[in-house]
Amino acid sequence: MKAKSIYFILSLTLLTACKDKLAPVSPDAIQPLVVTEQTVFDTDDPAIWIDKNDPSKSLIIGTDKEKGGGLYAYDLQGKIVASYPDMARPNNVDIAYDFPYQNDTIAIAVVTERKANAIRFFKLPELTPIDNGGLTVFEGETAEGFNEPMGISLYTKKEGETPVFYAIVGRKNGPEQDYLWQYEYAVNANGKLALTLARKFGAYSGKKEIEAIAVDQELGYVYYSDETAGVRKYYADPAKGNDELAFFAQADAKRDHEGIAIYKKDATTGYIVVSNQQDNSILIYPREGKPTNPNQHQLITTIPVAAVECDGLEITALPLDPKFPKGMLVMMSNGKVFHYYDWNTIQTHIDKAQK
């Protein structure tokens, strides 16, 4: 059965059962080229691991977020090829490359494990844990939800000969300032992974929570969704300070601003993509801002998608295989699945909106 047919049956079932709770998928919604196999509980957030030797063997790494859920690896056909189950509610995942480990450089996936109050580290593509059970975050926080990690994005500072690796972590609840904590992670003298708190930063509206976080590696910015309030922008490098650079998308979402990812046309231009959860659509913003103000991100267009109630999403602009010649957008959807979208289709909608 083709992916579109599978999606139609799944979507119809979901919408019939939950018609009073979920917005309908738009008749002109972009359809995924691939819908993944189902997880056990509830998908939440994807990341994309690029096989540098053969991009057609790249993997989607995604979380299944309930207690007992885990981390999954999918091939480009949507098949589950590896998993790490029985985690304490994993939420978000991100990927870093060229991390020095045991006389080698490796790719890693870093996952928030909410009910363990920790972040987990896995070697890719094998999904092999390398963290001795996890590293505790938000230590000393005792208020409800203040020590439960949810969102995560990784930043590699490449100034100088030795790169510095950071994890920027959000949580279920937090104060109106310093909601995010940024950690440097490295292998210590004993050969074990360790965290060093680099800073606390980030404003919070107090309206819902902060989960989705994305780093623009080349331009050095971090974006995060202050759900129902908007998207906030800061420098990713702690040395550049904690001043908020932008607070945009405030009136653009139906309710929750959710997953964030960046499509990179080149080193400095492209798009910031935000999932408009209750509208079953994505919001598109210029990555480079305006010529007179790089921190002014005005809505370009809203594009309806078939993904239902999307939490997390991720994008690559790299060609992966003939189905995705200009890259792909991966979106979580209700039904325990992820959707793979051809970026060419999305770009067509953007081009039309910009004419």
353 pLDDT above the threshold of 90? yes
Give pLDDT, residue 179.
Answer: 98
Q: What pLDDT band is residue 160 in, cutting at 50, 70 and 90?
A: confident
| Cβ contact 92:63 at 8 Å | yes
Give pLDDT, residue 291.
Answer: 94
Token duo for residue 179: 């909601």
Give pLDDT, residue 22.
Answer: 75
Stated pTM of the model: 0.93
Percent of the chain with pLDDT over 90: 92
17 pLDDT above the threshold of 50? no
> Per-residue b/e over 17-30, b at no fewer than 16 CB within 10 Å?
eeeeebbebeeebb
61 pLDDT above the threshold of 90? yes
Q: Rounded to whole angstroms, how far apart are CA atoms 76 and 116?
A: 31
Give the start-end residues of each E strand in 265-336: 270-276, 281-286, 301-304, 313-316, 328-333
Contacts 24+ apart (CB under 8 A), 263-272: 263/287, 263/315, 263/317, 263/327, 263/329, 263/343, 264/218, 264/317, 265/317, 267/218, 268/218, 268/219, 270/317, 271/300, 271/350, 272/214, 272/223, 272/231, 272/297
Give pLDDT, residue 159.
Answer: 79
What is the rounded average pLDDT of the residues 190-214?
A: 97
Q: What is the pLDDT of residues 75-103, one digit of tens each?
A: 999 999 999 999 999 999 999 999 999 99
Number of helices followed by number of strands (H, E) in the chain: 2, 25
What is the rounded average pLDDT of the residues 50-73?
A: 97
CA atoms within 13 A on the CB side of 239: 6
- Kindly state the helix (H) or strand (E) to which residue 49 belongs, with its residue range: strand 43-49
What is the rounded average pLDDT of the residues 241-265?
A: 97
Q: What is the pLDDT of residues 280-311, one digit of tens each?
A: 999 999 999 999 999 999 999 999 999 999 99
135 CB-near residues (< 8 Å, 6+ apart): 118, 119, 120, 121, 185, 193, 194, 195
What is the rounded average pLDDT of the residues 239-243?
A: 97
Give pLDDT, residue 277.
Answer: 94
